[in-house]
Amino acid sequence: MRPNLFLWVCLLSGVTSTFALFVTLRQWHPQEAGWHFALVMHKSKADIDTELLLSYDVYIDNDPKSPDVGCMVYDGPYPTPSIVPLKDAPVIMNFPNLAEQQVLDAMNQFGKVRIPGLILEEGESPIFPNCLEFVKETLDILLTHKVIKEEDMEQLGKFTQFYKDNADTVREKTDTGTRYKAGKARELAGKNPQCDESDKRKKLKTETTGKITEVVKTDTADKITEVVKTEAAAKIEAVYDKDKAEL
């Protein structure tokens, strides 16, 4: 049975066709501590206002019986479908060359990772993949393996711009709450798991170089260049060094 867990990101899917996907980024509670993101896979713009869609999610495992309590994990589809409104979607992308299963395969590459508590262990980094990073990693994998084609890069650029504009702020708003919940879950469970997929995540980071690509137009042609790397890590390191000193 799936535990009663606090969800931070869900990826939603109601697609039955093999190719041609709309992929939409949703958000809840923007600019708040509960800022939450999702990807929606659907057949048309109308679907996310009318169709029941399944969700695929990563979440904080807060089940005291789980070996991964206090970790960010991916565990396949959430069992309750829902109608998804379009009004909260900041990005809508149309990928005619993309198949649903390719996106699901990319999600399955997410490696579970320990979410640090507010007080860091020796040598521990405060940085962990949050809900927006999960979306980014999924798209990065599709891009790295050339599943997202060059002709689709303008569509991907919509997410790239949103990520550039918001990644740092999302961490500033949500990291403290996420870290508190993960640390509290471990405390209540009397466990301190480190999770066991660090090698998987290291491989992912190497393959994607930690970057999201964007469309860069030149005078001669449209070229695709990897140019973006968020400054969130450096900023949040400084923020939590300060927090730790004040605890």
Model's pTM, two decimal places?
0.75
- Residue-level pLDDT at 123: 92
Which of 233, 72, 239, 237 has the alpha carbon at shortest distance from 168? 233
Q: Is 187 a domain residue?
A: yes
Rg from Cα positions in the chain: 18
Q: Is 68 a domain residue?
A: yes
* Domain total of the chain: 1
Cβ distance 131 to 166 under 8 Å?
Answer: no
Residue pLDDT tens, the chain, 247 long: 334 443 444 455 444 444 579 988 888 899 999 998 878 889 888 888 999 887 777 889 999 999 999 999 888 777 778 888 887 789 999 999 899 999 999 988 988 999 999 999 999 999 999 889 988 999 999 999 999 988 999 999 999 999 999 999 999 999 999 999 999 999 999 999 998 675 665 565 555 444 443 333 323 223 323 333 344 444 444 444 444 444 4
How many angstroms separate the CA atoms of 74 and 70, rounded?
13
- Residue-level pLDDT at 87: 79
Q: Specify the pairing of strand 19-28 against strand 91-99.
A: antiparallel
Q: What six digits make up the tokens of 122?
A: 């020796």
Domain membership of residue 13 as a residue range: 6-246
Q: Is 199 a domain residue?
A: yes
Residue 18 DSSP class: S
Q: Is 1 a domain residue?
A: no
